[in-house]
Amino acid sequence: MKPRSEHPDTERVDLADIAPELLPYLGQAAYLQLEAFQGLAGVVRAVPGLDAKEELSAAAGLTLGKFQGLVAEIRRHDAQPAEVMRPFTASIDRLQQLTTGSDWQETLLGVHVTTGLLDDFFIRLAAGLPKDVGPRAAQLLGSDAGSESIGRILAAELAADPALGSRLAMWGRRLVGDTLLVARSALHDTGNESSDQQRVEPVFTDVIAAHTRRMDALGLTA
């Protein structure tokens, strides 16, 4: 344990103290990217504009690249990606169902919100991975996956339809709790669950603050 600061609320939590098990970390992170890829590809079909189709397909491709990078990492550790991802499919499939909205705008915001929160969280969690993997995983998850395009497309929709804002704001709020539940489940394998859950609270605060800024950027109340 590191010495605690005198002022805990100004302390930047050091997640290096929490060591997630490597393969479950990679398996969950990978399947999340695969799910995000599918979500984006589904929106490519649903969105009417050809420019938006091109931009969103590029975002889907970048997300697929993250998945493939994580899968390569799993193979580098002599494990089978399918085996390593399997324990996480049920909870992530459930999240995907919750994230799928009644129209493509909701679904796209769903991918934007959940991917934003979870990538942020997994990047921080990477600090506790072995030194030969952690930085690479963090860099991979932090790499661009078209969130700027997604934001721009959503902003254009919001500008064109004044009624959409309150609906999307509510939709975004609905998804935060379930997304954080999936994030929390990443700690189940650290073998030190309850103290880790406590220690990780400030990280959740940070991750939610970043989410609020993303929603703000769209003019939506988080």
Q: Which is nearer to a copy of itself, 45 or 213 (CB)?
A: 45
Tell me how far, at minimum, the Cβ of 193 lies from a copy of itself, in Å.
26
CB of 114 to a copy of itself, least distance (A): 16
Shortest distance in whole angstroms from residue 214 CB to a copy of itself: 25
Smallest gap from Cβ 72 to a copy of itself, in A, equals 11
- Please state the φ and ψ torsions of residue 137, each to the nearest 5 degrees: -65, -40
**CB-based contacts of 30, cutoff 8 Å, min separation 6:** 67, 70, 71, 74, 81, 84, 85
Residue number, 37 or 171, with CB nearest to a copy of itself:
37
Extract the tokens encoding 47.
Answer: 């969105």
Q: Considering the complex, what minimum distance in angstroms separates the CB of residue 156 from a copy of itself?
A: 14
Q: Which residue, 94 or 213, has its beta carbon nearer to a copy of itself?
A: 94
Residues forming contacts to a copy of itself in the complex (CB under 8 A) are 34, 37-38, 41-42, 44-45, 49-51, 53-54, 57-58, 60-61, 64-65, 67-68, 71, 81-82, 85-86, 89
- Structural contact between residues 18 and 200, judged by C-beta atoms closer than 8 angstroms: yes
Burial class (CB in 10 A: 0-12, 13-18, 19+), 125: buried
CB of 82 to a copy of itself, least distance (A): 4
The answer to whether the CB of 60 falls within 8 A of the CB of 41 is yes
Nearest to 207 by CA among 140, 120, 147: 120
Closest CB to a copy of itself among 160 and 163? Answer: 160
Closer to a copy of itself at the Cβ: 45 or 94?
Answer: 45
Q: Are 26 and 85 in contact (CB under 8 A)?
A: no
Both tokens of 2, joined, read 């590191």
Q: Which is nearer to a copy of itself, 74 or 218 (CB)?
A: 74
221 near 134, Cβ under 8 Å? no
Nearest to 108 by CA among 39, 29, 175, 174: 39
